[in-house]
């Protein structure tokens, strides 16, 4: 697969020509919200391609979004619906990529749809990493299709990118350029909390530098604490550093949120922000800061700049405040608490603590190490031995093989 910088050249050209193609793979709640946000941008340069298995279901969601957008007067995008794209079928994914040659590909699919995995794992295990094989299940197929199609697209992954992207990279496979969600869900909470502490209304003038793995996105959001881990955090307001209690900031981040599919507005917004950051960087020639899990194949989540270096469009981890080593150290500590000891040489290594908890709570024996070749089998094991017994539902159509 071409380097990100090489593919950015094609994306930059199409942005300048006002011919931008965004392909959404999977139109569940994340994909549907993202589709709505793209339509609502009211940008005639954006052409949205929705690809998935069920044409009737996709078309209904597209229809309601198009009509609602036109009522608001914000529907200028071209839209195509491409059915028959099963994410178990790499050839089908490749064909749709070659047909449209998109500038952005967003993988919003899930190997087991309609379930928030954390609803099972957080209360029982206080960890989310157990689900990594499910999260990577379709992503690896999408990336193999990207490789075969020799795509020029920027690829965005929506599911547990803190570990999924490093897993693919460490296996020597093509991997997504950006991950959405996770860390990006916590940064706005921090901005709201700081604005409240400073007694100001313009929370958009609060600037955050922060790095953390997935565990802390959940732990801080749900409990307002860090489990004793010191995380890289700096706060500025209107360009001036603010000396505030980090513990008080984290405590104020504990705000009520839904657990139903409306929660996926955040993940969809994160996808939208990444797409718009690239477009805006080209159009304005100004750097855009985003927070990305798994960026560059690094475990955990980091502040990332999208913009121009040496006159070339690029993206890089922002080390203007914290060095990579310090951020990576904090991210790895966070991921250990999430049940991931390491991701190396194509292997995902669970922590002994997670393995013991899974055996005690669910009566299931996790392997210490999941080889890349064992992803399919392990994903099915998680469905059969943990998800189905916990949900009390057996649905043959949801199986991953």
DSSP secondary structure of 301-345: EEEEEEEEETTEEEEEE--SSS-HHHHHHHHHHHHHHTTEEEEET
Residue 401 has pLDDT above 50, yes or no: no
- Please give the average per-residue pLDDT across 204-215, as a whole number: 98
Residue 396 has pLDDT above 60, yes or no: no
- Please give the average per-residue pLDDT across 115-125, as a whole number: 82
Residue 114 has pLDDT above 90, yes or no: no
- Please give the average per-residue pLDDT across 52-73, as a whole number: 96
Residue 90 CA to residue 112 CA, distance in Å, equals 18
pLDDT tens figures, 329-342: 999 999 999 999 99
Write the DSSP symbol of residue 386: I
How is residue 340 written in tokens?
């991931």
Note the pLDDT of residue 75: 86
3-state secondary structure of 178: strand
Residue 139 has pLDDT above 90, yes or no: yes
Note the pLDDT of residue 393: 55
- Whether residue 88 contacts residue 145, with contact meaning beta carbons closer than 8 Å, is answered with no
Whose CA is closest to 387, among 132, 189, 154, 119?
119
* pLDDT band at residue 118 under the 50/70/90 scheme: confident
- Please give the average per-residue pLDDT across 31-40, as a whole number: 97
3-state secondary structure of 42: coil
- Please give the average per-residue pLDDT across 359-374, as a whole number: 97
Note the pLDDT of residue 399: 41
pTM for the model: 0.95
Note the pLDDT of residue 395: 46
């Amino acid at each position: 697969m071409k380097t990100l910088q090489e593919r950015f050249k094609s994306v930059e050209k199409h942005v300048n020509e006002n011919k931008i193609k965004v392909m959404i793979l999977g139109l569940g709640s994340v994909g549907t919200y993202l589709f709505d946000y793209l339509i609502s941008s009211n940008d005639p340069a954006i052409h949205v391609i929705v690809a998935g298995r069920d044409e009737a279901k996709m078309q209904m969601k597209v229809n309601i979004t198009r009509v609602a957008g036109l009522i608001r007067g914000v529907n200028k995008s071209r839209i195509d619906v491409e059915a028959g794209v099963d994410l178990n079928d790499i050839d089908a994914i490749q064909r749709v990529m070659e047909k449209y040659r998109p500038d952005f590909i967003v993988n919003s699919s899930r190997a087991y749809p309609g379930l928030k995995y954390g609803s099972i794992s957080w209360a029982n295990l206080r960890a989310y990493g157990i689900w990594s094989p499910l999260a990577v299940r379709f992503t690896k197929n999408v990336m193999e299709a990207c490789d075969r199609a020799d795509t020029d697209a920027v690829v965005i992954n929506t599911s547990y990118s803190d570990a999924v992207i490093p897993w693919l990279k460490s296996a020597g496979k093509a991997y997504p350029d950006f991950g959405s969600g996770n860390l990006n869900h916590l940064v706005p909470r921090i901005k709201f909390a700081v604005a409240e502490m400073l007694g100001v209304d313009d929370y958009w003038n609060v600037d955050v530098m922060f790095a953390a793995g997935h565990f802390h996105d959940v732990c801080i959001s749900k409990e307002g604490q860090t489990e004793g881990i010191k995380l890289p955090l700096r706060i500025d307001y209107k360009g001036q550093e603010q000396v505030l209690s980090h513990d008080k900031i984290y405590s104020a981040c504990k705000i009520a949120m839904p657990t139903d599919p409306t929660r996926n507005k955040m993940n969809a917004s994160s996808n939208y922000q990444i797409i718009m950051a690239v477009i805006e960087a080209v159009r304005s020639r100004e750097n855009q800061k985003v927070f990305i899990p798994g960026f560059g194949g690094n475990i955990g989540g980091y502040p990332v700049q999208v913009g121009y270096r040496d006159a070339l469009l690029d993206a890089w981890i922002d080390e203007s405040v914290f060095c990579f080593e310090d951020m990576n150290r904090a991210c790895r500590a966070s991921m250990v608490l999430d049940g991931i000891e390491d991701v190396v040489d194509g292997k995902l290594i669970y922590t002994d603590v997670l393995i013991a908890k899974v055996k005690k709570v669910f009566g299931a024996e996790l392997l210490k190490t999941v080889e890349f070749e064992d992803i399919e089998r392990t994903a099915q094991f998680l469905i059969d031995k943990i998800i189905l017994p916990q949900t009390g539902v057996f649905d043959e159509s949801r199986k991953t093989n």
